[in-house]
Amino acid sequence: MAAMKSLSVLAALLTWANALDNGVGRLPAMGYDTFNAFSCDYTATSVLGQAMAMQQRGLVDAGYNILILDDCYALRNRSANGSMVADPSKFPSGIPAFSKQVNELGIKLAAYGDNGYETCAGYPGSYGRELQDLETWHSWGMSYLKYDNCYIPSDNITQKGEYGRYTRMADAIAQFAAKTGESPFLFSLCEWGWNQPWVWGKKLSQSWRIDGDIKPYWSAIAAIIDQVSFQYWSSDFYGHNDMDILEVGNTGQGSPPGNLTYEESKSHFTAWALMKSPLIIGTDLSNATDETFEILGNLDLIKINQDPNSGESISPFRWGVGADYVSDPNHPAEYWSGNSSYGVVFMILNSQDTNATMKFNLTESWAIQAGRQYSVYDMWQHKETGIAVRNMTFDLPPHGVAALLLNDAGPEPSYLNGSCALYYQCAFPNGTYISN
Ligand SMILES: *[C@@H]1O[C@H](CO)[C@@H](O)[C@H](O)[C@H]1NC(C)=O
Ligand SMILES: *[C@@H]1O[C@H](CO)[C@@H](O)[C@H](O)[C@H]1NC(C)=O
Ligand SMILES: *[C@@H]1O[C@H](CO)[C@@H](O)[C@H](O)[C@H]1NC(C)=O
Ligand SMILES: *[C@@H]1O[C@H](CO)[C@@H](O)[C@H](O)[C@H]1NC(C)=O
Ligand SMILES: *[C@@H]1O[C@H](CO)[C@@H](O)[C@H](O)[C@H]1NC(C)=O
Ligand SMILES: *[C@@H]1O[C@H](CO)[C@@H](O)[C@H](O)[C@H]1NC(C)=O
Ligand SMILES: *[C@@H]1O[C@H](CO)[C@@H](O)[C@H](O)[C@H]1NC(C)=O
Ligand SMILES: *[C@@H]1O[C@H](CO)[C@@H](O)[C@H](O)[C@H]1NC(C)=O
Ligand SMILES: *[C@@H]1O[C@H](CO)[C@@H](O)[C@H](O)[C@H]1NC(C)=O
Ligand SMILES: *[C@@H]1O[C@H](CO)[C@@H](O)[C@H](O)[C@H]1NC(C)=O
Ligand SMILES: *[C@@H]1O[C@H](CO)[C@@H](O)[C@H](O)[C@H]1NC(C)=O
């Protein structure tokens, strides 16, 4: 008895220390969310337009396969038996029928809900009705839940912090899966980074928002990247920092209008993909530009985001403009690298408002081997661009990005005479330093 008990305590501790691995959400989610483009102003027709564009423009083939109905799909009042009711003016044929239409395009509908009495826009919240609402969403063909944090019960009722409040739905998801025998809902926390979800989020969920709502301006994108430079370590298989819905495509849209440049939009998408954030489209695709489709459909970056063998995010090895390890929302870290199945990944970001010449030594990255040269593949030009020896130098436009994949191309050239890239302590066998 005692032995059994300590074994199960040990098992519980092991589970506690690792990410929640219940079989879903191993890789970052990819899909669409109605919020950034439509807020509450959508109908079955406009949402179906998004799904059709995703399918027709190759985004479903690229991996975008969920469609989150964000806030405002329901009536404000629940039915007599307490269940949520889809708004018939938005979904005249009901959500189950709509769900089937979307499925035919290779996409699955996903749910939005809220941890409190009401959603942020004042529709029914799920506090106290977690299982009942999971039943409803399941009957609508959904198995993914984005869970918001508005109108939460007062502290004297919950007597819990964010972790405890979100545990209610995590437990309901596990209970519901046990009951149906189906895979658990993928659980996506939207509590805006309160109470450090990058620390505990992976115990309950597959992704956690790290910040408040994104905006379609560079200052917002740069601030999120700055935050990840201190939280990148949290993303790996089965658990991901959620950097929020993409703003790619929203230039000139909304009020005040979005104003990301093409270069800024590329930097935005590069960071989200390589930092292993969920990639959730948030623009009206029914009339999006070719540039928008080009960025969202960058298969080289999506391949790294969805790497089946390497779950880790890129990490900064040098901040650049600012001092290392110092937060600056205007000048986030500029020099990043990481490992992947396809080579060593580099992201070089020009955080300045002017053109800049960017330089780095290869061995500044932990993932590079000293004494080797590397072939360089550019993930925006989609081609090999040359061989890198020791260092790389290139010019980037304001807020521009380079996304590179480096692969071993043999020993360094002999003209380097075996000198060390980092010469401190580099010595001959007789103990004399090699100074270069
Ligand atoms: C919704 O519920 C509220 C509160 O119970 C009630 O006052 C209101 O009349 C209901 N609205 C509808 C349309 O049933
Ligand atoms: C609850 O009411 C809704 C709407 O009237 C109905 O569709 C649903 O089947 C009911 N659920 C149960 C469990 O009775
Ligand atoms: C919690 O506090 C609120 C606001 O002061 C009060 O109205 C309510 O009765 C309290 N509830 C409990 C369960 O103590
Ligand atoms: C972009 O728009 C935001 C919000 O209106 C504004 O604060 C910012 O100055 C604009 N940036 C540029 C470069 O125009
Ligand atoms: C798409 O159409 C909407 C509605 O007419 C308009 O507001 C928006 O600017 C258009 N988007 C683009 C990228 O042209
Ligand atoms: C990089 O990732 C690949 C794929 O998982 C793995 O085989 C390789 O050992 C990793 N390299 C390093 C240096 O971690
Ligand atoms: C930045 O570089 C581009 C391309 O070389 C050039 O056309 C542009 O004039 C430069 N801008 C500034 C402010 O130097
Ligand atoms: C790059 O390498 C050169 C030559 O070893 C060295 O002088 C320089 O300080 C290095 N730069 C960085 C940022 O490590
Ligand atoms: C870059 O590496 C080359 C060898 O390929 C070396 O000649 C040059 O001095 C290095 N530059 C810097 C800035 O380290
Ligand atoms: C390598 O050795 C040759 C011959 O001594 C010398 O001319 C050359 O400068 C050395 N190269 C480097 C990079 O030190
Ligand atoms: C140690 O070995 C190096 C390389 O062979 C040589 O240049 C150097 O003179 C030696 N130092 C001593 C103190 O023997």
Q: Is 33 a catalytic residue?
A: no
> Which residue owns the Cα nearest ligand 4 atom 12?
259
- The more confident residue out of 5 and 223 is 223
User: Are 375 and 301 contained in the same domain?
Assistant: no
Give me the DSSP letters along 358-376: EEEEGGGSTTSPTTEEEEE
Q: Which of 312, 329, 242 is nearest to 274 (CA)?
A: 312
Q: Are residues 132 and 215 in the same domain?
A: yes
Q: Report helix, strand or coil for 35.
A: helix
Q: Which of 46, 284, 286, 295 to mutate to test the pocket of ligand 5 (most atoms within 8 A of CB)?
A: 284
Q: How far is the CA of 144 from the centre of ligand 6 (A)?
A: 30
Between the alpha carbon of residue 29 and those of residues 145, 167, 281, 402, the distances in Å are: 12, 21, 11, 24
- pLDDT of the residue at 14: 45
- Report which bound ligand comes closest to the CA of 85: 2
Asked if residue 256 belongs to a domain, the reply is yes
**Ligand 8 center from residue 391 Cα (angstroms):** 9
Write down the residue that tokens 């889809």 correspond to. Answer: 86
| Residues 323 and 291 grouped into a single domain | no
Catalytic: which of 213, 324, 353, 408? 213
Does residue 422 lie in a domain region?
no
pLDDT band at 16 (very low <50, low <70, confident <90, very high): very low
| Same structural domain, 41 and 130 | yes
Q: Ligand 9, residues 390, 392, 417: which to mutate, most atoms within 8 A of Cβ?
A: 390
- State yes or no: pLDDT of 4 exceeds 50: no
pLDDT score at 5? 41
Mean pLDDT within 350-371: 98
The pLDDT of residue 20: 83
Domain enclosing residue 374, as ranges: 315-416
Query: Does residue 133 lie in a domain region?
Result: yes
Q: Are residues 356 and 295 in the same domain?
A: no
Q: Which ligand is nearest to the CA of 337?
A: 6
Residue 427 in any domain: the answer is: no
Q: pLDDT band at 378, cuts 50/70/90?
A: very high
In a domain, 435, yes or no: no
pLDDT in tens, 145-172: 999 999 999 999 999 999 999 999 999 9
Mean pLDDT of 41-60: 98
Structure tokens at 30: 């990819």
Within a domain: 50: yes
Number of domains in the chain: 2
CA distance 187 to 189: 6
Contact 275, 228 (CB under 8 A): yes
Query: 300 with 340, same domain?
Result: no
Q: Using a 6 Å cutoff on CB, does residue 318 contact ligand 9?
A: no
390 pLDDT higher than 60: yes
User: What's the pLDDT tens digit per position in 117-152?
Assistant: 999 999 999 999 999 999 999 999 999 999 999 999
Please give the span between the terminal C-alpha atoms of the chain, in angstroms, as a whole number.
66
272/352 same-domain check: no
Tell me the pLDDT band of 423, cut-offs 50, 70 and 90: confident
The residue contributing the CA closest to ligand 9 atom 6 is 390
> Among 259, 261, 399, which residue has the most ligand 4 atoms within 8 Å of its CB, making it the best to mutate?
259
**Tokens read off for 60:** 């479903």
95 alpha carbon to ligand 2 midpoint, in Å?
14
Q: Give yes or no: residues 38 and 172 share one domain.
A: yes
Catalytic residue among 70, 71, 114, 148: 148
CATH number of the domain encompassing residue 159: 3.20.20.70
Q: Which segment of 5-19, 46-60, 82-96, 368-382 scores lowest on mean pLDDT?
A: 5-19
Which atom of ligand 8 has the smallest separation from the CA of 359? 13
DSSP 404: E
- Identify whether the C-beta of residue 340 lies closer than 8 Å to the C-beta of residue 405: yes
List all residues whose CB is within 6 A of at least one atom of ligand 5.
253, 284, 287-289
pLDDT in tens, 230-255: 999 999 999 999 999 999 999 999 99
Which H or E element spans position 110? strand 108-114
Does residue 363 form part of some domain? yes
Check residue 9 and give its pLDDT. 41
Q: Are 323 and 285 within one domain?
A: no
| C-alpha span between 53 and 49 (Å, rounded) | 6
pLDDT band at 436 (very low <50, low <70, confident <90, very high): low
**pLDDT given for residue 361 in this prediction:** 97
Which protein residue's CA is at the shortest distance from atom 1 of ligand 8?
Answer: 361
pLDDT tens per residue across span 283-308: 999 999 999 999 999 999 999 999 99
Q: Say yes or no: 185 and 327 in one domain.
A: no
Any domain includes 4:
no
* CA 436 to ligand 4 centroid distance, Å: 48
Mean pLDDT of the chain: 95
CATH number for the domain spanning 323: value is 2.60.40.1180
165 Cα to the center of ligand 1, angstroms: 27
Does residue 310 have its Cβ closer than 6 Å to ligand 6? yes
The verdict on the CB of residue 339 being under 6 Å from ligand 6 is: yes
Quick one: 230 and 82 in the same domain? yes
Percentage of the chain beyond pLDDT 70 is: 96
Annotated catalytic, 290? no
Angle at 279 between CA 147 and CA 247, to 5 degrees: 90
Indicate the DSSP class of residue 251: B
Residue ranges in 63-213 assigned as alpha helix (H): 95-103, 130-139, 155-158, 162-180, 197-204
Give the ligand at the shortest distance from the Cα of 386. 9
pLDDT band at residue 432 under the 50/70/90 scheme: very high
Ligand 4 pocket: which of 217, 250, 251 to mutate (most atoms within 8 A of CB)? 217
Among the listed ranges 2-16, 52-66, 100-114, which one has the minimum average pLDDT value?
2-16
- Number of the ligand closest to the Cα of 77: 1
Return phi, psi of residue 128, to 5°.
85, -5
pTM over 0.85: yes
Quick count: other Cβ atoms within 10 Å of Cβ 45?
A: 11
pLDDT tens for 181-198 read 999 999 999 999 999 999
What CA–CA distance (Å, rounded) separates 320 from 341?
27
Work out the average pLDDT over 65-80.
98
Q: What is the DSSP letter of 242?
A: E
Residues 18 and 96 in one domain: yes
Split at pLDDT 50, 70, 90, the class of 18 is low
